[in-house]
Amino acid sequence: MRQPLRYPWVNFDVDDVIAPAIAVRVDVTETKAEVATHWHRKGQLVFALGGGVTCRVPSGLWMVPPHCGVWIPGSMEHSNIATANARIFFVYIEPGAADLPDRCCTLSISPLLRELIIELADRVEEDEARDGLLNTILLSELPRMPVQQLHLPISAEPRLRRIAEALAQNPADRSTLAEWANRVALSESSLARLIVKQTGLSFGRWRQQLHLIVAIRELASGASVQQVSGDLGYGSVTAFITMFKKALGKPPAKYLASVARNGGSAFVA
């Protein structure tokens, strides 16, 4: 069960505010929360200080692990799903205020940038001079953050979209490529070629990337390795840890610890 994500304002449209950057903090309760598909004129950085957020855009799923952010350019449709007990910051940036990509991407968030975002969001009284200084530093630091590769490419091709949505709903589904091909009325070889053409990944690698996104999201929200392993359909915890370590270089606990310690740099590909 997901609840709507509650913002700390009522009848407030960030696009009506002419400011280089606006930061807003949203704390999620014990239940997963969702912001339905929408768009705004300003670009948006989705930053998770605790828990995790998954952003869906037309071309893919983007994971927002703790101490990382996803950049969503202005006017791009997107939705956000937050884990229970997540601590989220939305930073809305005026078009042209910073030299940021014109595509969706995941960014490392340095300790300095993290503190700037928190300070800008949690300030109690408006101080034009101080806010201007915070904006200047934030907008100069953000374009310097390394781009990460933790996302799942999703094609607009209807058959691949169907498979992606089914696996996102049930990541434990272990159906073979041949079984998926039968469901979407393609030969196994045709589906294999289509997936590579549309996503740049083989079916096995593409499904593994989905598992990594789900695993990091759930582990970041407090789920145990045993629970996540079972939810993803792995026959044993050892098999799950082996996959995770092979893909990301460290077992889950050490991986998440390194992210917290290094401000997201462990995610850089």
Per-residue pLDDT of 199-242, as tens digits, reads 999 999 999 999 998 898 788 778 899 999 999 999 999 999 99
Q: Which has the higher per-residue pLDDT, 31 or 35?
A: 35
Q: What percent of the chain has pLDDT over 90?
A: 46
Of 51-60, 120-129, 229-238, where does the model show the most confidence? 229-238
d(CA 223, CA 269): 25
Give pLDDT, residue 269.
39
Of residues 66, 7, 38, the one with CA closest to residue 218: 66
Per-residue pLDDT of 77-102, as tens digits, reads 999 888 777 888 999 999 999 999 99
Query: Helix or strand or coil: residue 33?
Result: strand
CB 67 within 8 A of CB 114: yes
Angle at the Cα of 244 (from 200 to 179), degrees rounded to 5? 55
Kind of pairing between the strands at 3-4 and 33-38: parallel
Residue 267 reports pLDDT greater than 50: no
d(CA 56, CA 66): 17
> How does residue 124 score in pLDDT terms, banded at 50, 70 and 90?
low
Per-residue pLDDT of 139-192, as tens digits, reads 999 999 988 777 888 887 889 989 988 888 899 999 999 999 999 999 999 999
Query: Helix or strand or coil: residue 242?
Result: helix
Q: Give me the DSSP letters along 104-168.
A: -EEEE--HHHHHHHHHHHH-SS--HHHHHHHHHHHHHHGGGSPEE--EEE--SSHHHHHHHHHHH
pTM, whole model, 2 decimals? 0.76
Q: Which residue has the tokens 């434990």?
A: 172
